[in-house]
Amino acid sequence: MKIAFIGLGNMGSGMALNLQRAGHEVVGFDLSEAARQLHAERGIRIADSAQNAAQGAAAIITMLPASQHVEGLLLGHDRQAGLLEHLNAGALLIDSSTIAAATARRVAAAAAAKGIHFLDAPVSGGTAGAAAGTLTFMVGGSSATLERALPLLEAMGKNIFHAGDVGAGQTAKICNNMLLGTLMIGTSEALALGIANGLDPKVLSEIMRRSSGGNWALEVYNPVPGVQENSAATRDYTGGFGTDLMLKDLGLALESAIAARASTPLGALARSLYAAHSLAGHGTQDFSSIIQLLQENAGQ
Ligand code: NAD
């Protein structure tokens, strides 16, 4: 199947390569020249625009930073027509970016008006999961469209959940990321306390991982450099999940909490802490660098 893949960043990179490995004909596009060049070197056919990548594609997958990028690309901006205008009726459009559920529903309605089948299918599993093809997909849309998309999603992920109608995948994703954002802060706080009291972070991490404080951050995403060989922390907080992306997700969680009159005190506090960390100049670093904020606060 010919697939257009738009957005070859930290996540899109591994996802596009896995689709190609599964035997699909992938044509990629990214606004960044560096990303285009890197993926041409990795053997992905690169188009000179999103429109050219999507030409004649049976499926189009987008993996972009935020709502405004997805909306701008697909629906258009500044009186410029969006990509939807150029897609054939019957095409399958899958957005795997984490964006507002309301934006997903707007895009789905515009797609439906053109006979295009849309799914919101945000993911969890990080860049390691994207590279290994073990992502979790949280899908919103019709069962029939999901059925059609399944072979593509299975080439990129291991767990595929149907969360409900369009937008439900995004709602599930921000609930998960609100939990992850608070979990990373809690884990960092505990590690910073131990380090401040003279404990070896490797020893403390292993104790907590195997005790009642065990969690995903301690398993695969330790925030202290050097504790885990392949963590973003050990790579100087590069190449993972940016602080500004976590900040965006916590903003989406807060907006949906306001809309539903839900109480999310820890999510709101976590958003404030990531905002302070971003303002201090760490927005493009991996979100696990939040431990630095807590260590600075501890006077270290
Ligand atoms: P990224 O910033 O590394 O990649 C996004 C890419 O989109 C960039 O290369 C950028 O140049 C490109 N882009 C932006 N606008 C474009 C446009 N109009 N046309 C073509 N390309 C465009 O971000 P990422 O870490 O890959 O994350 C992508 C999405 O996945 C985000 O919504 C993020 O919240 C979500 N996500 C990230 C992770 C993670 O661990 N990094 C995990 C799960 C979900």
**What is the 98 CA–ligand 1 centroid distance (Å)?**
9
Quick one: which atom of ligand 1 is closest to the CA of 29? 20
- Mean pLDDT over each residue of the chain, to the nearest integer: 96
166, pLDDT greater than 80: yes
The verdict on 225 and 280 lying in the same domain is: yes
**What is the 190 CA–ligand 1 centroid distance (Å)?**
30
Count of domains forming the chain: 2
**What is the 7 CA–ligand 1 centroid distance (Å)?**
6
The verdict on 137 and 205 lying in the same domain is: no
Average pLDDT over residues 66-79: 92
**What is the 249 CA–ligand 1 centroid distance (Å)?**
13
Burial 246-269 (b: 16+ CB within 10 A, else e): bbbbbbbbbebbeeeeeebeebee
Pocket test for ligand 1, best of 63, 78, 94 (most atoms within 8 A of CB): 63
Q: How confident is the model at residue 78 (pLDDT cuts 50, 70, 90)?
A: confident
Pocket of ligand 1 (CB under 6 A): 6-12, 29-32, 35, 50, 63-65, 69, 73, 97-98, 123-124, 126-127, 240-241, 245
299, pLDDT greater than 50: no
Q: How confident is the model at residue 300 (pLDDT cuts 50, 70, 90)?
A: very low
pLDDT of residue 83: 97
Domain extent at residue 86: 2-165
112-148, pLDDT tens digit by residue?
A: 999 999 999 999 999 999 999 999 999 999 999 999 9
* Whole-number Cα distances in Å, 161 to 125, 138, 148, 176, 182: 14, 5, 14, 13, 23
pTM of the model: 0.94
Residue 245 CA to residue 213 CA, distance in Å, equals: 26
User: Tokens 């970016």 appear where?
Assistant: 97
Give me 92's structure tokens: 């399958």
Query: Which residues, at least 6 apart from 42, have a Cβ–Cβ distance to it below 8 Å?
Result: 13, 17
Pocket test for ligand 1, best of 33, 39, 63, 64 (most atoms within 8 A of CB): 64
235, pLDDT greater than 90: yes
The verdict on 52 and 110 lying in the same domain is: yes
Assign residue 226 the CATH number of its domain.
1.10.1040.10
The verdict on 160 and 119 lying in the same domain is: yes
298, pLDDT greater than 60: no
The verdict on 132 and 93 lying in the same domain is: yes
Q: What does the DSSP assignment read for 106-136?
A: HHHHHHHHTT-EEEE--EESHHHHHHHT-EE
**What is the 97 CA–ligand 1 centroid distance (Å)?**
7
The number of beta carbons lying within 10 Å of the beta carbon of residue 203 is 11
Catalytic (active-site) positions: 173
210, pLDDT greater than 80: yes
Quick one: which atom of ligand 1 is closest to the CA of 8? 9
Quick one: which atom of ligand 1 is closest to the CA of 11? 26
For ligand 1, atom 31, which residue shows the shortest CA distance? 65
Pocket test for ligand 1, best of 5, 27, 30, 156 (most atoms within 8 A of CB): 30
Assign residue 78 the CATH number of its domain.
3.40.50.720
Q: How confident is the model at residue 161 (pLDDT cuts 50, 70, 90)?
A: very high
Residue 272 CA to residue 278 CA, distance in Å, equals: 10
The number of beta carbons lying within 10 Å of the beta carbon of residue 11 is 25
The verdict on 177 and 206 lying in the same domain is: yes
ipTM greater than 0.95, yes or no? yes
The verdict on 128 and 63 lying in the same domain is: yes
pLDDT of residue 189: 98
Last residue of a domain, one of 165, 192, 208: 165
The verdict on 95 and 40 lying in the same domain is: yes
Residue 195 CA to residue 189 CA, distance in Å, equals: 10
Query: Which residues, at least 6 apart from 75, have a Cβ–Cβ distance to it below 8 Å?
Result: 82, 84, 106, 107, 110
Q: How confident is the model at residue 297 (pLDDT cuts 50, 70, 90)?
A: low
The verdict on 85 and 140 lying in the same domain is: yes
